Amino acid sequence: MNDAAPTNEFRQLVFSGVQPTGNLHLGNYLGALQKFVALQDTHDCIYCVVDLHSLTATLMHDDLMDQTRAIAAAYLACGLDPKKNIIFNQSRVPQHAELAWIFNCVARIGWMNRMTQFKDKAGKDRENASLGLLAYPSLMAADILVYRATHVPVGEDQKQHLELTRDIAQKFNNDFSERIAACGYGVEMEVGEERVNGFFPLTEPLIEGSATRVMSLRDGTKKMSKSDPSDLSRINLTDDADAIARKIRKAKTDPEPLPGELEGLTGRAEAENLVGIYAALAEMSREKVIAEFGGRQFSDFKPALAELAVEKLAPIASEMRRIAADPSYVDSVLRDGGERAGALAEETMKKVHDIVGLLAN
């Protein structure tokens, strides 16, 4: 990590995380992992496997340790360098949970009740949802802010949680402004037109590109997700070339050819989704995809998409298998990352103790 930035501004630091629940899919890859890999060339980055988060909906998992290793193996298989970045699992660094507790006391219950992900996951019987599920965004804010990270690459579905992260940071900065100043821990930052002083940065979400919300291959109005009962709805990162090609061949489409202009995709959710996936995999704009395939039938476009998807994804699947076959290597990466992350988190928490008034020395 370099410390080159001036001390009165936040050093640019990227943080993101993935839950170890179920197979990773194309949405996770395009919305998150592909961006993680690109950012490692330009930023200091911390990538976490958020195992504590996976307890919020289901407490008991048969194979949480293996799932955690599998996500770490996916990070490595996609090309993340464990020396250059910090790669670790969340529960190794207890400061995440400690800061989450403080944020539970900063955030308001009303804020949590408004989270669409909580409403979706809790369903009708909210009284019976775990307290952890309600407080989930507080832990997510702590994941990011325990490193005072400034940039967070995620898919569109995490946007509301990141807005809440900013609200928590802002309320902490306001509530403790005098203590922050008295301790000399304030950092200057721009908020809108103003320059203000605070301890936690107002984190920027990085939600960019053509595939920030990859939709189900069976229903263009539903998000591609691990929990969809139909395996045909998603491409898993573990799928082999045949499975990838078959799922694209079977993807739902409409009878029209692809439009000649981008605007022609409006109201054609499935076509729009496949064009977005092509653009993101090829790392080109959607305009360019339409310029190349506009007017062509899906019977032409799908084989091209399948070929591209196999070319990009099949090597990741085989690399994941290779890395996962050596769990002691994966564990050593997570252990090393955990030590480096822990040292940074400890530094932040010492200051938080001073600011909040928790006697620690």
Distance CA 45, CA 108 (A): 30
> Please, which residue, 212 or 253, has the CB nearer to ligand TYM?
212
Shortest distance in whole angstroms from residue 298 CB to ligand TYM: 21
Please list, in sequence order, all residues whose beta carbon lies within 8 angstroms of the beta carbon of residue 9, skipping any fewer than 6 positions away. 187, 188, 189
Nearer to ligand TYM, 31 or 201 (CB): 31
Closest contact distance (angstroms) between CB of 195 and ligand TYM is 26
Question: Which among 121, 159, 252, 350 is annotated as catalytic?
Answer: 121
Q: Which is nearer to ligand TYM, 17 or 198 (CB)?
A: 17
Question: Considering beta carbons, is residue 16 or 89 the nearer one to ligand TYM?
Answer: 16
* Buried/exposed 311-348: b ≥16 CB within 10 Å, e otherwise: ebbbebbebbeebbeeeebbeebbeebbebbbebbeeb
Question: β-strand 194-198 against 187-191: which pairing, if any?
Answer: antiparallel
Residue closer to ligand TYM by CB (options 140, 168) is: 140
Q: Map residue 123 onto helix, strand or coil.
A: coil
* Bridge partner residues of 204 (DSSP): 151
Which entry of 35, 223, 247, 312 is annotated as an active-site residue? 223
Minimal distance, residue 152 CB to ligand TYM, in Å: 5
Confirm if 166 and 202 have CB atoms less than 8 A apart: yes
CB of 259 to ligand TYM, least distance (A): 23
Question: Beta 44-49 vs 151-153: how paired, if at all?
Answer: unpaired
Question: Of these residues, 226, 252, 350, 351, which one is catalytic?
Answer: 226
Please tell me the distance from the alpha carbon of residue 119 to that of residue 122, in angstroms, as a whole number: 5
Q: Which DSSP letter does residue 30 get?
A: I
Active site residue 35: no
Give me the residues that bind ligand TYM (CB under 6 A), please.
15-19, 27-28, 30-32, 50, 53, 140, 143-144, 152, 154-155, 157-158, 161, 212-214, 223-224
Position with the least CB separation from ligand TYM: 31
Encoding tokens for residue 257?
């050819």
CB of 137 to ligand TYM, least distance (A): 8
Told to judge if 121 belongs to the known catalytic residues of this protein, a careful annotator would answer: yes
Annotated catalytic, 159?
no
Q: Is 199 left (phi over 0), alpha (psi -120 to 50) or beta?
A: alpha
Give the residue numbers annotated as catalytic, written as ranges: 121, 223, 226
